[in-house]
Amino acid sequence: MAYYWFKAFHLIGVVVWFAGLFYLVRLFVYHAEAATETEPAQAILKAQYEIMEKRLYNIITTPGMIVTVAMAIGLISTEPEILKSGWLHIKLSFVALLLLYHFYCGRIMKKLEKGECNWTGQQFRALNEAPTLLLVVIVLLAVFKNQLPLDLTTWLIVALVVLMAVTIQLYAKKRRKDQEKLRQNTPQKEEVATR
């Protein structure tokens, strides 16, 4: 019975952790883009994003990570022979990368707060693709274990994930260009209105 409790809370932890990671870096995008705003909007937005980032990281994302890792240890304790499985070693390597990503996001958050981070919104959007790729690999390894299919279907799924990432980047680029056009046209409209 302990195995099922560990597994249930492990899955809950994974969902919470990934939700937090996805949203945290999205907040970084908005935080970086707030630098293009004029005062006092810039200061207000940056202060608000700092509060949101801290709360998300400390109250949701990090506890989600802790629950995930603790329940994984519990799962392994119920069947320690699983540690001999090659697929688990590969999965744990990707989880280690995810942990590094998590703490790297915490470091970025502190740099944004101090005004020491020069990343653009576009760079943060690209960074936000990393947990998606890690999630796909980790879930596939957890489901298929040693039977991970490397056939056409798998490559189609990989291609779909890459296509989604590229589409998101292209959409963000288009949106940024549209905003630049809007900013360029706004002063012209104000001049016409004052005449």
Give CA–CA dist 118/32, Å, rounded: 8
Q: Which of 33, 55, 54 is nearest to 45 (CA)?
A: 33
Beta-carbon count within 10 A of 109 CB: 22
Q: What angle do CA 177, 180, 184 make, to 5 degrees?
A: 140
Winning range, highest mean pLDDT, from 108-117, 130-139, 159-168, 170-179: 108-117
Listed residue (48, 61, 65, 20) closest to 113, CA to CA: 48
Does residue 111 or residue 175 have the better pLDDT? 111
Exposure on the CB side of residue 15, measured as CA atoms within 13 A: 6
Write down the pTM of the prediction. 0.78
Place of tokens 């005004």: 115
Cα distances (Å, whole numbers) of residue 72 to 9, 102, 109:
9, 17, 27
pLDDT in tens, 114-141: 999 999 988 998 898 889 889 988 998 8
Residues that constitute the known binding site for heme: 10, 91
Q: Where are the domains of the chain?
A: 1-148
pLDDT at 188 over 60: no
Q: Alpha-carbon distance 82 to 7, whole Å?
A: 14
Q: Each residue of 52-102: pLDDT tens digit?
A: 999 999 999 999 999 999 999 999 999 999 899 888 999 999 999 999 999
Q: E-assigned strands of the chain? A: none
Work out the pLDDT band at 193, boundaries 50, 70, 90: low
Binding residues: 10, 91
